[in-house]
Chains A and B, each alone.
Chain A
Amino acid sequence: MSYIIGIDLGTSNSCVAVVEDGKSHVIPDTNGRKVQPSVISFYPDGSHVVGYEAKTQMVYNPENTVFSTKRLIGRTFSSSETERFSENMPYKLVKGSNNAVMVEAQGQIYSLTEISSLIISHMKSIAEEYLGEKVEKAVVTVPANFNELQRNATKMAGDQAGLEIVRVINEPTAAALAYGFGQGLEQKVMVYDFGGGTFDCTILNLSGDVFEVLSTAGDTFLGGDDIDNKICQLVVNSYKNNFNIDLTKDPLAMLRIRYEAENVKIILSSEKNAQMKIPSLAYSDKGAVDLNVSLSRDNFNVIGKELVETTFEVCDKALKTAGLVAAEIDNTILVGGTTNIPLVRDMVQLHFGTTPFWGVNPEEVVAIGAAIQGAIISGATAIAAGADGENQEPMADALLLDVTPLTLGVGTLGGRVEPLIPRNTPLPTDQSKIFTTANDGQTTVRIRVYQGESEFEDENEQIGVLVLNKLRPGIRGDVQIEVTFEIDINGIVNVSAVDLDTGQKQAVRLNLVGKHNIDESDMMSNDATAPQVR
């Protein structure tokens, strides 16, 4: 029996699940643990370890222990997020070809895709160990607000791990699927997905077996990590004020604080007070300075409040796009470890006026949803088989109707972006545009492609360059090429082109930013600085 597993590749933690004998469940590792830290530690001999072992290495081997790479996957080295990130991270980031972000550990350079693929491999082995057979296919999840580069890089990470990624689905949609599959609900739900590194709010309409996304909004740089950072900030400030020591100059100290901060945050979910103790955190002229502070839940709430308010701005945007008010939402589903924090739950209840639903485990629900989708694709709706093994009436398959989160556009004159496919367009979708040459005899046309909501290029994310080459040479404006941009059900962009005069297919390629692209014709052609489209 070939299983399709569901993998939730999270910023801080990853989870793998499968549908077995008609029931979906998380696959634990040999120690019975259901989530695995998304951490890799590299040893001097070139070997590496993933998960809990790696996490303990964070303190002993900070420069060679890599974590939270999901915050960077698909980004460029020169982006502001990368800069912000590298200031806070103890491991080294280097620039790769095509402005890609690479990680350096134990003298070796790894791409972010490789790092993610090592984590996926780890989840794959856990699954294979449990199921007792080779696993070849998987459904992998991404934040709803991930752009083309981030989705592509994630899919490639799966390929590199030796898995065929049959579908990439959005985390909130997967959560909604886990919540509503087989329940025959007629509800409007809001998924509030607050993970380690990202925040997504998705509004869905559930109608029995159809899960239609009405709108989605998010922030791919807002997560539980930021709460940890705020706690770290408190400690740093107090040390500056009391002992005149600047802890930010000491990466090991910062790491130890962050490690403790995360623990304290988790403790404060169930306790009213927590101690942060780090012996010999820093050294002053008077000797070693230990860290010994207690943090109350009330203090913590003051810190976290502002971040949670930011999430509400995102939710309101999603509601507005869907044309709904909070009162029309039947249920709010909480997803992501950060929603375990009582502050978050209380504020969600206050803001939306309804008690959020937390019958599903917020850390496992996404993987479970992915596993269910995998089962649907493999046709294993032996989900129909009852507990007694007899085939009852087949449960209706579920159908996910998702949308694209970001507007897709092309660069035009004056540094502007012309939108082609607006955000929240239901998928699959396509849109065509006719391009032509600006100069006589031009055989290559290059068009910059963007995702984002601004009308200006620099405020959007450039995802790549559309290259039309081997064009029929002619008078400028004579050659008319109709390019069709398609976004498929994975939310991934595909392009095709047709020469309108001949009706023949035209060679076209979308060269994504941050990927090493081989382009021989670029090396041969003499219009490397080909002018923009007219």
Chain B
Amino acid sequence: MQVRILVVSEDVVRRQFFTEKMTESTDYAWEVVPLADDARRMLGERYDAVIVDGDRDASNKINLCREIRSYPKNASTYVVLFGSVSADKMTPQVLQNIGVNAFLNWPIFSGKLIKTLQQLLEGETLPSMKEPDCGAEKKFKSAPKKAASPPADIPAEDAKALGDPPLTVDELECIEADRYRAIMQFSKNLDMVDYFQIMGLERTAKSTEIKKRYYQLARRFHPDRFAKVTQKEFISRVYAVFKRMTEAYQILSDTDKRRAYEYNLGQKRSKENLRMKKAAMETKRSGPRQDELQIRNTNARKFFSLGQKALAEGNPSGARMNFLLALQQSPGDLVIKQGIEKVDALLKKQKESKA
């Protein structure tokens, strides 16, 4: 299973570096395009990393860096920026603001590039080209037989403090390679993604899509799905990622909270606005909104008025039947639900006075 990389650069010589020099390693598959817009067209497919040349068309390129993770298939893709700008100017703060995981100075040494990519991909040894012969699931076949030293990008002191060895071969084989990678990528990008990105949703996502998507994510990333893994560090990453997904689900499922969230995010895309703060979560509604006071669906409205007529004529069970039919046409409608509640209370009173 190769690592797929997309490269964007206007410069012919730089493109040649990627298409000729870098193809010596068969573990990586390189796709090289000249323009930012070409890259945007390609992002419908999933890439493990995107390398962007920031020296030409800089502002467009930076916008591209920010956009990459909003493509559903690339929600957890690594972004590497390179250019002639002095590396001192590219502080972690700056990189975070533009949604970039690493910056490299041009000219790039191939060894350095590979090392950077490996670090991003968590120091895992890349699986060999041979497909495993068991099942369709991709597994780490060429992982070392004994536990390797802790991942490269954790500082030495912390690595010692971690204590636990990284995932063993048996554990790795219990979770598919793409889930492992997704968790690692998500957990490192948590400070840069918003709720839509972490759930892999478009901004226009409807509420039914949100629930469905959350269930899909839960099937993949809920901590129970990693029950066989004992390494605490990895499990805490799973928790961190899934907690964020759950938070996103909670906020985006509530119309008011979602609206407030999108507004804040639109004002300023900063680290604070990527999550909904507690105070903002307590939105109090004085009553139903204007648009919720009417029944939109025509059929639902017909049944509802029949029901109301029945109620006026002293036939609550007939009214209930009509209300239920109305609810079928327009599920979740508040007006209809209120009607049903009223009828149920009436019917109950009737039964009790009979008893």
- Please give, as numbers and ranges, the residues of chain A lying within 8 Å of B224 by CB-CB distance: 376-377, 397, 399-400, 489
A420-B278, A431-B278 as given contacts; A350 in contact with B348, CB under 8 Å: yes
Are the C-beta atoms of A399 and B219 separated by less than 8 Å?
yes
Q: Pick the most buried of A207, A350, A426: most chain B CB atoms within 10 A of its CB.
A: A426
Within the complex, the shortest CB–CB distance from A208 to chain B, in Å, comes to 8
Are the C-beta atoms of B219 and A428 separated by less than 8 Å?
no
A234 within 8 A of B: no
Are the C-beta atoms of B219 and A209 separated by less than 8 Å?
yes
Segment among A12-20, A84-92, A321-329 that sits at the interface with chain B: A321-329
- Please give, as numbers and ranges, the residues of chain B lying within 8 Å of A325 by CB-CB distance: 337, 340-341, 344
A326-B344, A377-B224 as given contacts; A426 in contact with B337, CB under 8 Å: no
Contact of A210 among B218, B223, B247, B327 (CB under 8 A): B218
Which residue on B lies nearest to A421, using beta carbons?
B278
Which residue on B lies nearest to A316, using beta carbons?
B341
Q: Give the residues from 196 to 219 in chain B that come closer than 8 angstroms, CB to CB, to chain A.
A: 215, 218-219
B243 within 8 A of A: yes
Which residue on B lies nearest to A353, using beta carbons?
B344
- Please give, as numbers and ranges, the residues of chain A lying within 8 Å of B324 by CB-CB distance: 327
Complex CA distance for A377 and B227, rounded to whole angstroms = 6
A126 within 8 A of B: no
Q: Give the residues from 155 to 197 in chain B that come closer than 8 angstroms, CB to CB, to chain A.
A: 174
Within the complex, the shortest CB–CB distance from B35 to chain A, in Å, comes to 40
Are the C-beta atoms of A428 and B246 separated by less than 8 Å?
yes
**B316-327 Cβ-contact flags toward A at 8 Å (1 or 0):** 000000011001
Q: Pick the most buried of B249, B324, B332, B341: most chain A CB atoms within 10 A of its CB.
A: B341
Are the C-beta atoms of A207 and B246 separated by less than 8 Å?
no
Which residue on A lies nearest to B339, using beta carbons?
A325
Are the C-beta atoms of A426 and B227 separated by less than 8 Å?
no
Are the C-beta atoms of B215 and A207 separated by less than 8 Å?
yes
- Please give, as numbers and ranges, the residues of chain B lying within 8 Å of A328 by CB-CB distance: 327, 337
Contact of B218 among A323, A378, A401, A420 (CB under 8 A): A401
Within the complex, the shortest CB–CB distance from A214 to chain B, in Å, comes to 11
- Please give, as numbers and ranges, the residues of chain A lying within 8 Å of B239 by CB-CB distance: 428, 486, 488
Are the C-beta atoms of B243 and A212 separated by less than 8 Å?
no
Within the complex, the shortest CB–CB distance from B155 to chain A, in Å, comes to 12
B97 within 8 A of A: no
A453 within 8 A of B: no
- Please give, as numbers and ranges, the residues of chain B lying within 8 Å of A425 by CB-CB distance: 250
Are the C-beta atoms of B223 and A428 separated by less than 8 Å?
yes
- Please give, as numbers and ranges, the residues of chain B lying within 8 Å of A429 by CB-CB distance: 243, 246-247
Which residue on B lies nearest to A373, using beta carbons?
B224
The interface residues of chain A, by DSSP majority, are classed as mixed
Q: Give the residues from 367 to 421 in chain A that come closer than 8 angstroms, CB to CB, to chain B.
A: 376-379, 397, 399-401, 420
A136 within 8 A of B: no
Within the complex, the shortest CB–CB distance from A250 to chain B, in Å, comes to 38
Q: Pick the most buried of B223, B224, B348, B351: most chain A CB atoms within 10 A of its CB.
A: B224
B78 within 8 A of A: no
Complex CA distance for A428 and B347, rounded to whole angstroms = 41
Complex CA distance for A393 and B347, rounded to whole angstroms = 48
Complex CA distance for A323 and B337, rounded to whole angstroms = 10
The number of A-B residue pairs with CB atoms under 8 Å apart is 66
B228 within 8 A of A: yes
A249 within 8 A of B: no
Are the C-beta atoms of B227 and A379 separated by less than 8 Å?
yes
B103 within 8 A of A: no
A286 within 8 A of B: no
B242 within 8 A of A: yes
B222 within 8 A of A: yes
Complex CA distance for A326 and B224, rounded to whole angstroms = 32
Complex CA distance for A324 and B337, rounded to whole angstroms = 8
Which residue on B lies nearest to A378, using beta carbons?
B227
Within the complex, the shortest CB–CB distance from A63 to chain B, in Å, comes to 44
Within the complex, the shortest CB–CB distance from A427 to chain B, in Å, comes to 7
A430 within 8 A of B: yes
A327-B324, A377-B227 as given contacts; A351 in contact with B218, CB under 8 Å: no
- Please give, as numbers and ranges, the residues of chain B lying within 8 Å of A212 by CB-CB distance: 215
- Please give, as numbers and ranges, the residues of chain B lying within 8 Å of A426 by CB-CB distance: 246, 249-250
Are the C-beta atoms of B215 and A210 separated by less than 8 Å?
yes
- Please give, as numbers and ranges, the residues of chain B lying within 8 Å of A353 by CB-CB distance: 344, 347
Are the C-beta atoms of A399 and B218 separated by less than 8 Å?
yes
Are the C-beta atoms of A399 and B222 separated by less than 8 Å?
yes
- Please give, as numbers and ranges, the residues of chain B lying within 8 Å of A486 by CB-CB distance: 239, 243
Within the complex, the shortest CB–CB distance from A136 to chain B, in Å, comes to 15
**A319-340 Cβ-contact flags toward B at 8 Å (1 or 0):** 0000111111000000000000
Which residue on B lies nearest to A320, using beta carbons?
B341
Complex CA distance for A351 and B347, rounded to whole angstroms = 10
- Please give, as numbers and ranges, the residues of chain B lying within 8 Å of A420 by CB-CB distance: 278
- Please give, as numbers and ranges, the residues of chain B lying within 8 Å of A210 by CB-CB distance: 215, 218-219
Are the C-beta atoms of A351 and B341 separated by less than 8 Å?
no
Are the C-beta atoms of B250 and A428 separated by less than 8 Å?
no
A207-B215, A350-B351, A379-B227 as given contacts; A327 in contact with B344, CB under 8 Å: yes
Within the complex, the shortest CB–CB distance from B229 to chain A, in Å, comes to 11
Which residue on A lies nearest to B281, using beta carbons?
A422
Within the complex, the shortest CB–CB distance from A391 to chain B, in Å, comes to 12
Are the C-beta atoms of A428 and B215 separated by less than 8 Å?
no
Complex CA distance for A209 and B223, rounded to whole angstroms = 15
Within the complex, the shortest CB–CB distance from A19 to chain B, in Å, comes to 15
A351-B348, A426-B249, A429-B246 as given contacts; A379 in contact with B228, CB under 8 Å: yes
Complex CA distance for A328 and B227, rounded to whole angstroms = 35
- Please give, as numbers and ranges, the residues of chain A lying within 8 Å of B218 by CB-CB distance: 210, 399, 401
Q: Give the residues from 240 to 297 in chain B that come closer than 8 angstroms, CB to CB, to chain A.
A: 242-243, 246-247, 249-250, 278, 281-282
- Please give, as numbers and ranges, the residues of chain A lying within 8 Å of B344 by CB-CB distance: 325-327, 353
**A190-220 Cβ-contact flags toward B at 8 Å (1 or 0):** 0000000000000000010110100000000
- Please give, as numbers and ranges, the residues of chain B lying within 8 Å of A326 by CB-CB distance: 344
Q: Give the residues from 225 to 259 in chain A that come closer than 8 angstroms, CB to CB, to chain B.
A: none
Within the complex, the shortest CB–CB distance from B91 to chain A, in Å, comes to 16
Which residue on A lies nearest to B223, using beta carbons?
A489
Which residue on A lies nearest to B337, using beta carbons?
A325
Which residue on B lies nearest to A312, using beta carbons?
B348
Complex CA distance for A429 and B278, rounded to whole angstroms = 12
Are the C-beta atoms of A428 and B348 separated by less than 8 Å?
no
Complex CA distance for A422 and B281, rounded to whole angstroms = 10
Within the complex, the shortest CB–CB distance from B125 to chain A, in Å, comes to 26
Within the complex, the shortest CB–CB distance from B292 to chain A, in Å, comes to 12
Complex CA distance for A378 and B249, rounded to whole angstroms = 28
- Please give, as numbers and ranges, the residues of chain B lying within 8 Å of A376 by CB-CB distance: 224, 227
Are the C-beta atoms of A430 and B228 separated by less than 8 Å?
no
- Please give, as numbers and ranges, the residues of chain B lying within 8 Å of A422 by CB-CB distance: 281-282
Q: Give the residues from 424 to 447 in chain A that come closer than 8 angstroms, CB to CB, to chain B.
A: 425-431
For the complex of A and B, 5 pairs with smallest distance between CB atoms: A210-B215, A325-B337, A377-B227, A426-B246, A327-B340
Q: State the A residues within 8 Å of B (CB).
A: 207, 209-210, 212, 323-328, 350-351, 353, 376-379, 397, 399-401, 420, 422, 425-431, 486, 488-489
Q: Can you sample 7 A-B contacts with CB below 8 Å? A: A323-B332, A324-B337, A327-B323, A353-B344, A377-B227, A378-B227, A429-B243
Given A327-B327, A397-B225, 17 additional A-B pairs, CB 8 A: A209-B219, A210-B215, A325-B337, A325-B344, A327-B323, A327-B344, A351-B348, A353-B347, A376-B224, A400-B224, A426-B250, A427-B246, A429-B246, A430-B243, A431-B278, A489-B223, A489-B224
Q: State the B residues within 8 Å of A (CB).
A: 174, 215, 218-219, 222-225, 227-228, 239, 242-243, 246-247, 249-250, 278, 281-282, 323-324, 327, 332, 337, 340-341, 344, 347-348, 351
